[in-house]
Amino acid sequence: MKVKPVNHAKAAEEFIDDVAHESFHDERLWDLRQKRDEQMHILPEWQELRTRASQIKEHTLANLPEYLEQFEANAKKNGIHVHWAADGAEHNRIVGEILEKHGAKSLIKSKSMVTEECQMREYLEPRGVTVTETDLGERIQQLDNQMPSHIVVPAVHKLIPDVAKIFAEHYHTDPNDNSAQSLAWQQRLAARPVILSADAGMTGGNFVVAETGSFVVCTNEGNADLSATVPGLHIATIGIERLVPRMADMGVFIRLLSRSALGSPITQYTTHFRGPQKGSEMHVVLVDNGRSHRLGMQDFWTSLKCIRCGACMNTCPVYRRSGGLSYGAVYSGPIGAIIDPTFNERKYSTLPFASTMNGSCTNVCPVKINIHEQLYKWRRVLAEHHELPFVKREIMHMAGKLMGQPKLYRAAINGTEVALSTMPRFVLYNWLNPWGKHRELPHPVKTTFNSWYKKNRLNKQKEGEKA
């Protein structure tokens, strides 16, 4: 059965129609972008840090097998069990086997986009394992049965009354509670007993250090530290691209990460895990899931440099106004639009077109991924692979024919004003014109550059030659 492409335009339309949510979402994320800019201007070496971070990432990816083996060797020396997962299914099987071996039936976890990517909860829960998200935003999304809508702030699209309603349904709290502090406290009261009684804990990993066999987790709530240290079993799920060669490299990335994500100098907790606590067990699952394939894609491999800061999402005018859930994928926004098609080209074929190509995403990326250029290249690939919708494909075909014939193009431009003035609306505004669904067609300029040039330059040039 053929997978249907995500209908981003329709989902975005529904989000935009909810003015209160759309306005808050846009303003909240733009505020994060402005705070990021303030931090950037504080550091005179900001651009140098970006360049260095990009260089470190590119060097690591160019030597990925060697650094992965170095990490594995050093991690094992530290007492960590290292596992390799080729895809999401293998990752889930490995985690399931570890939990089964320990008789673990309850798993608490901090934020991990890789586990979302692998659909781990959906795998474990039918097998009798209760998975509880401990990050506030992730827990809200879990209770509401939704994916995260943002890499860093998973429930940023929700208003306080939305959260109050969800908590009232699941925690039997006051549905009219309009205090963010009170709701956060209710989540804390609900989470603590679950954390203290959990059989196993899981975290992700922001960075993996080959030199020391350790990994680093950056959070603002402290939930990752609780998930890792309270139970006697700690499993960390990490993508293979999160490597850096040396501990000294962390000085670059830690200074960039939180400033780019939230506009704060550093996260509240930056925890280095080097091995299991006394009497406990630690496992690291290194996940490929298409990353090796992407590494071999000439135009798209640099997307693996991403440190999941979300800066590109905070600045993107399309993402800010359409919401993360409209992308229908774990990774949304500009970075999602270039990553998601590597997982399923057809399903996510609409996402690279959800962009104005303004380049702001590239400008704010702390590791200098050329996001807007990759969006353009994905559009070209999708067109070549016939993954464009029928209407878009035919319109682009006709536009190409028209623009390829200058005389026909100029005649069409000259006739546009007449058409707009005389043709019935149903002829101009229909399913063949998605642009006109939300906008009036623009009236053409009275004087085109071609006509202006002929009148002011070419004719005068000819008169001069005659003289």
- Distance, in Å, from the CA atom of 70 to the CA atom of 50, rounded to the nearest integer, reads 25
Strand order in the sheet with 233-239: 81-85, 281-287, 233-239, 200-203, 106-109, 130-133
296-306 pLDDT tens trace? 999 999 999 99
Q: What angle do CA 170, 135, 54 make, to 5 degrees?
A: 150
pLDDT at position 439 over 80: no
- Distance, in Å, from the CA atom of 332 to the CA atom of 426, rounded to the nearest integer, reads 35
- Distance, in Å, from the CA atom of 170 to the CA atom of 73, rounded to the nearest integer, reads 45
242-273 pLDDT tens trace? 999 999 999 999 999 999 999 999 999 999 99
Arithmetic mean of pLDDT, 15-38: 97
What is the amino acid identity at position 207?
F
- Model pLDDT, residue 427: 65
State the pairing for strand pair 200-203/233-239.
parallel
Mean pLDDT lowest for which of 71-75, 178-182, 204-208, 442-446?
A: 442-446
Same-domain check for residues 266 and 148: yes
Same-domain check for residues 259 and 124: yes
117-167 pLDDT tens trace? 999 999 999 999 999 999 999 999 999 999 999 999 999 999 999 999 999
| Domain boundary, last residue among 269, 288, 307 | 288
What is the amino acid identity at position 413?
I
Q: Is residue 12 part of a domain?
A: no
Same-domain check for residues 238 and 121: yes
CB–CB of 289/87 below 8 Å? yes
- Distance, in Å, from the CA atom of 351 to the CA atom of 7, rounded to the nearest integer, reads 9
* Residue 47: alpha-carbon gap to chain centroid: 23
301-327 pLDDT tens trace? 999 999 999 999 999 999 999 999 999
- Model pLDDT, residue 372: 97
As a whole number of angstroms, the longest Cα–Cα distance in the chain is: 99
pLDDT at position 85 over 90: yes
- Model pLDDT, residue 388: 75
The DSSP secondary structure of 450-464, one letter per residue, reads: HHHHIIIIIHHHHHH
Arithmetic mean of pLDDT, 164-191: 96
- Model pLDDT, residue 387: 81
| Domain boundary, last residue among 271, 288, 305 | 288
pLDDT at position 289 over 90: yes
pLDDT at position 31 over 70: yes
Average pLDDT over all residues of the chain: 92
Same-domain check for residues 282 and 143: yes
The enclosing domain of 121 has a CATH number of 3.40.50.10420
Q: Is residue 47 part of a domain?
A: yes
pLDDT at position 394 over 90: no
443: how many CB neighbours lie within 10 A of its CB?
Answer: 10
Arithmetic mean of pLDDT, 276-281: 95
Same-domain check for residues 68 and 200: yes
Q: Is residue 248 part of a domain?
A: yes
Arithmetic mean of pLDDT, 190-208: 97
- Model pLDDT, residue 189: 95
Confidence band of 432 (pLDDT split at 50, 70, 90): low
Q: Is residue 113 part of a domain?
A: yes
Higher pLDDT residue, 415 or 23? 23
What percentage of the chain carries pLDDT values higher than 90? 81
Mean pLDDT lowest for which of 73-87, 216-230, 370-384, 407-421?
A: 407-421
Q: In which domain, by residue range, is 416 found?
A: 390-463
Contact residues for 306 (Cβ-Cβ < 8 A; gap 6+): 241, 335, 339, 367, 369
* Residue 147: alpha-carbon gap to chain centroid: 12
Nearest to 152 by CA among 306, 309, 35: 309
208-250 pLDDT tens trace? 999 999 999 999 999 999 999 999 999 999 999 999 999 999 9
Q: Is residue 36 part of a domain?
A: no
Tokens 């702390």, located at residue: 366
- Model pLDDT, residue 1: 64
Confidence band of 354 (pLDDT split at 50, 70, 90): very high
Q: What angle do CA 109, 30, 203 make, to 5 degrees?
A: 10
111 SS3 class: coil
Nearest to 2 by CA among 384, 317, 386: 386
Confidence band of 386 (pLDDT split at 50, 70, 90): confident
pLDDT at position 390 over 90: no
Q: Is residue 74 part of a domain?
A: yes
pLDDT at position 400 over 90: no
Q: Is residue 441 part of a domain?
A: yes
| Structural domain count of the chain | 2
DSSP label at residue 325: G
- Model pLDDT, residue 464: 65
Same-domain check for residues 146 and 283: yes
- Model pLDDT, residue 406: 84
281 SS3 class: strand
| Domain boundary, last residue among 288, 303, 320 | 288
Same-domain check for residues 272 and 420: no
Arithmetic mean of pLDDT, 20-35: 97
Contact residues for 32 (Cβ-Cβ < 8 A; gap 6+): 153, 261, 262, 263, 314
- Distance, in Å, from the CA atom of 329 to the CA atom of 148, rounded to the nearest integer, reads 9
Q: Is residue 299 part of a domain?
A: no
- Model pLDDT, residue 396: 73
Contact residues for 101 (Cβ-Cβ < 8 A; gap 6+): none
pLDDT at position 435 over 70: no
Confidence band of 93 (pLDDT split at 50, 70, 90): very high
